[in-house]
């Protein structure tokens, strides 16, 4: 594949390395120094663009790529209040858009485990649920997109919880998400169910960024010749 990398920070550089090891050609790299070039990629023979930037730039980047009929795999979080606009644009353009808050295969299996446990634990009212997420000090959004995805499924299936808050809380109806930022942490997400007599912990620990980068490249390989809107749930169906 001919791949465009949008965002050339630590993730972008790792994605480039993974692409090259899998025999793909990185034909275009867009970063802050040449950001306007994203509007003129029509003639670059790009099969797919992988976008990992910042929340404020993700929406215009995706819009520009979809407008040029370039399939997009996006991993930027904290912009999805505009998701409906992107979905409408993809439908109108007969385009291709793949979004996940986290591309780690392990994390997406963790999502499935979280959904199952949330359904199960809803039957046991003595247990309260809370969350914690830890990331590197350079991560801007808080809670993380992964934490919000986990929280969404807990709120969907836990009848006691109606909203989340990014702090400790005494309110039974609020799901507490504690966010911590520490040096050199790729990502740790934990869910705690605590009752009067015992405590259950479910934790996913990312060892490095390579897992996220590999997942995004695998998603790009899978989606680049498809049309529509996709997620990691769609990608994982091929293994079921």
pTM score, whole prediction: 0.84
> What's the pLDDT at 42?
84
Is 160 labeled as catalytic in the residue annotation?
no
Token couple for 218: 């695998």
Residue 198: is it exposed, middle or buried by C-beta count within 10 angstroms (0-12/13-18/19+)?
A: exposed
Query: Is there a contact between 158 and 121 (Cβ–Cβ < 8 Å)?
Result: yes
Q: Which residues in the chain show pLDDT less than 50?
A: none
User: What is the rounded distance in angstroms from the CA atom of residue 168 to the CA atom of residue 45?
Assistant: 50
Q: Report DSSP letters for 16-60, one per residue.
A: HHHHHHTT-EEEEEE-GGGGGGGG--TTS--SEEEE---HHHHHH
Q: What is the pLDDT of residues 126-161, one digit of tens each?
A: 999 999 999 999 888 899 999 999 999 999 999 999
User: What is the rounded distance in angstroms from the CA atom of residue 218 to the CA atom of residue 237?
Assistant: 14
> What's the pLDDT at 140?
81
CA quadruple 176, 135, 216, 76: dihedral positive or negative?
Answer: positive
Query: Is there a contact between 72 and 65 (Cβ–Cβ < 8 Å)?
Result: yes
> What's the pLDDT at 87?
97
Task: Name the catalytic one among 17, 44, 139, 152.
Answer: 139
Is 204 labeled as catalytic in the residue annotation?
no
User: What is the rounded distance in angstroms from the CA atom of residue 18 to the CA atom of residue 9?
Assistant: 14
Phi and psi (nearest 5°) for 203?
-135, 135
CA-based end-to-end distance of the chain: 26
DSSP assignment letter at 225: T
Query: Is there a contact between 80 and 149 (Cβ–Cβ < 8 Å)?
Result: no
Task: Name the catalytic one among 135, 161, 189, 224.
Answer: 135
Domains and CATH numbers, the chain: 2-103+210-239 (3.40.50.720), 105-205 (3.30.360.10)
> What's the pLDDT at 43?
82
Instruction: Give the SS3 label for residue 140.
Output: coil
């Amino acid at each position: 594949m001919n791949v465009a990398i949008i965002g050339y920070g630590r993730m972008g550089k790792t994605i480039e390395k993974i692409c090259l090891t899998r025999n793909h050609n990185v034909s275009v790299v867009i970063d802050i120094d040449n950001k306007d070039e994203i509007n003129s990629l029509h003639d670059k023979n790009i099969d797919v663009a992988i976008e990992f930037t910042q929340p404020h730039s993700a929406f215009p980047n995706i819009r520009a790529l979809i407008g040029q009929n370039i399939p997009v795999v996006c991993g930027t979080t904290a912009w999805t209040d505009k998701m409906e606009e992107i979905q409408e644009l993809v439908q109108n353009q007969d385009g291709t858009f793949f979004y996940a808050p986290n591309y780690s295969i392990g994390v997406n299996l963790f999502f499935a485990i979280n959904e199952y446990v949330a359904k199960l634990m809803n039957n046991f009212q003595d247990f309260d649920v809370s969350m914690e997420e830890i990331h590197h000090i350079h991560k801007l959004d808080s809670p993380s997109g992964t934490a919000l995805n986990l929280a969404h499924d807990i709120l969907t299936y836990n009848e006691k919880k109606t909203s989340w808050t990014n702090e400790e809380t005494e309110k039974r109806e609020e799901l507490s998400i504690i966010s911590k930022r520490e040096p050199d942490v790729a990502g740790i997400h934990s869910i705690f169910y605590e009752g009067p007599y015992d405590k259950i912990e479910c934790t996913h620990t990312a060892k490095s960024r390579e897992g996220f980068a590999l997942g995004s490249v695998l998603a790009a390989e899978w989606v680049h010749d498809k049309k529509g809107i996709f997620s990691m749930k769609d990608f994982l169906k091929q293994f079921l």
